A and B are shown apart, each in its own frame.
Chain A
Amino acid sequence: MRIVPPDGGQSLFDYDPELFSAFNTLYGTLWTDGAVDQATKEVGRLRNANLVDCGI
């Protein structure tokens, strides 16, 4: 890993859990809110991950 997580943390974002929580709140809202069903959103998410070659 290029950037070592803080002690007891699992990822870079554990350095600032408050900001990461705000990001996750928005991300979660995009998944659960709106008119598009989650299966369609998942198709878009997977295609995006494929295009940028993101294995996560």
Chain B
Amino acid sequence: MSDNTLDELFAPLPKAHEHYRALDEQIWDGRLDPALLELCRVRIAMLHRCGPQLALQRADIGAKRAAIAQWPTSPLFSATERAVLRFTEQYVIDAQGVSDADAAGVVGGLSGPEIADFTVAIGTFDAICRFTLALGPEVPAQPPAQDA
């Protein structure tokens, strides 16, 4: 992964950087479909308008990358992908507002181990965006894209 912004932000904390890298490596090691993770990672970066994370491509998701904001209606997305994106959006916007229905959609599409991995992954992706935006280089505010 090439992410100079994150490397620079973690520079004062080499131990934390090392352990973040170890966690990141496990998240992406195939225990959960990397394409499913990438959909969630990109959606989180879009919601936060996190440029450095939006610039990354961690897995091939083809035409879905440009269509993520249209996941509720686009035929490109499977039922499981819609369920995890629905949960992910609610988690980022208001975690307290995650409903039984949001959770049930994920439970219906993923196994227990996959749900554990998914939960750790989106928590990490969300934290990294917030970390990057709070401590990274100041950039002019960008208006949200019309399809965001």
Contacts and interface: CB of A to CB of B under 8 A. Distances in A.
Interface string B74-111: 00000000000000000000011000100110010000
B15 A29 contact: yes
Contacts, number: 68
A42 B31 CA distance: 33
Q: Per DSSP, are chain A's interface residues mostly helix, strand or loop, or mixed? A: helix
A3 B107 contact: yes
A2 B91 CA distance: 15
Given A3-B115, A19-B31, A29-B15, 19 more contacts: A2-B100, A3-B107, A3-B112, A6-B112, A13-B116, A13-B120, A15-B115, A16-B116, A19-B26, A19-B27, A19-B120, A20-B116, A22-B22, A23-B120, A25-B23, A26-B22, A34-B13, A52-B95, A53-B96
B22 A25 contact: yes
Nearest to A53: B96
**Looking at chain A, what size class is its interface with the partner chain?**
20 to 34
B103 A2 contact: yes
B26 A25 contact: no
Contacts of A6: 112
Contacts of A18: 26
Contact of A12 (B15, B23, B104, B115): B115
Nearest to B18: A29
B31 to A, nearest CB: 7
